[in-house]
Amino acid sequence: MPVIKEIKLDFTFSGEKNFIYPTLIRYKNELILVDAGYQNMLSNLEKAFRENGESFSDLTRIWITHHDHDHIGSLHAIREKYPHIKVYAGAGEVPFIEGRETPLRLKQAVELQARLSEEKQNEGIIFQKYLKSVEADKVDFLLYDDMLLLDGNAKVISTPGHTKGHVSFYFPKEQTLIAGDALVIENSKLEIPFPQFSENPEKAEESVRKLAQYSIGRILCYHSGTKEGNPSDIKREILDAVSQNK
């Protein structure tokens, strides 16, 4: 049975402390990290592994939900130090992770620049430079919808919308979903995150509606941590997230 743990990493943005929540999975001899944080977070991740009784050098795989800078920021640094680790991602995300296409957030930042006020222009330029500084890395294996992992104990769910090839991971025996950015917890309720930044808001809603088909008692959200509850209540919240996103 897989052991699935939330990792809490802090960072400072605009002078305020914030958190992200990658996931650590132990299954037999496999040690898996889901998403790789912002840039310069390798030491934070290594510390988090130690605090959870694991060594980062034992990490075997990294599963990437999507290519945003806060999910792949430390991927290249990890692979430089630990070249044995294999990277998995959905086909729609691979060109961005490998640096062959311009990331969605950079495209959006460039488009937004012309609409920024004069006092915000410099901030916009700095943010674009930051996005351009995220280093690309190679994806070793493709993930696809309904793909089974870990001897059938985990299933890939294609959840496009937030980005083109976003994926989530479902563990049927544990009734656990690693949502990535398909869902977020706001005021103790599930919501579809950042609709203004979704590549395709309609597909994002379809993906969340799809998640409601699964029996889920625990959801791990990258930007807000873990929500647990009765699967029927979780299903209702997921469907409410879709209806309230209109």
* Claim to verify: residue 130 and residue 224 sit in the same structural domain: no
Q: Kindly state whether residues 30 and 95 are assigned to the same domain.
A: yes
* 37 and 140 both lie in a single domain: yes
8 with 118, same domain: the answer is no
* 34 and 44 assigned to the same domain: yes
- Do 95 and 210 lie in a common domain? yes
Write down the pLDDT at residue 177.
Answer: 99
Per-residue pLDDT of the chain (246 residues; tens, 9 = 90+): 999 999 999 987 767 889 999 999 999 999 999 999 999 999 999 999 999 999 999 999 999 999 999 999 999 999 999 999 999 999 999 999 999 999 999 999 998 898 888 888 988 999 999 999 999 999 999 999 999 999 999 999 999 999 999 999 999 999 999 999 999 999 999 999 988 889 999 999 999 999 999 999 999 999 999 999 999 999 999 999 998 876
CA atoms within 13 A on the CB side of 153: 12
pLDDT of residue 70: 96
Q: Are 127 and 169 part of one and the same domain?
A: no
- Domain count along the chain: 2
Range of the domain at 184: 3-100+136-243
Concatenate the DSSP letters of all residues of 127-192 into one string: HHHHHHHSPP----EEE-TT-EETTTTEEEEE-TTSSTT-EEEEETTTTEEEEETS-EEETTEEE-
Domain containing residue 230: CATH number: 3.60.15.10
Q: Do 95 and 108 lie in a common domain?
A: no
Close Cβ partners of 128 (under 8 Å, ≥ 6 residues apart): 106, 109, 110, 113
Query: Which residues does 210 contact at the CB level (< 8 Å), separation at least 6?
Result: 157, 159
Listed residues 135, 159, 192: the one ending a domain: 135
Do residues 230 and 152 both lie within one domain?
Answer: yes
- Whether residues 40 and 82 share a domain: the answer is yes
Does the predicted model carry a pTM greater than 0.85? Answer: yes
Exposure string of 210-227, with b = 16+ CB inside 10 Å and e = fewer, is bbbebebbbbbbbbbebb
Q: Are residues 23 and 62 in the same domain?
A: yes
124 shares a domain with 62: no
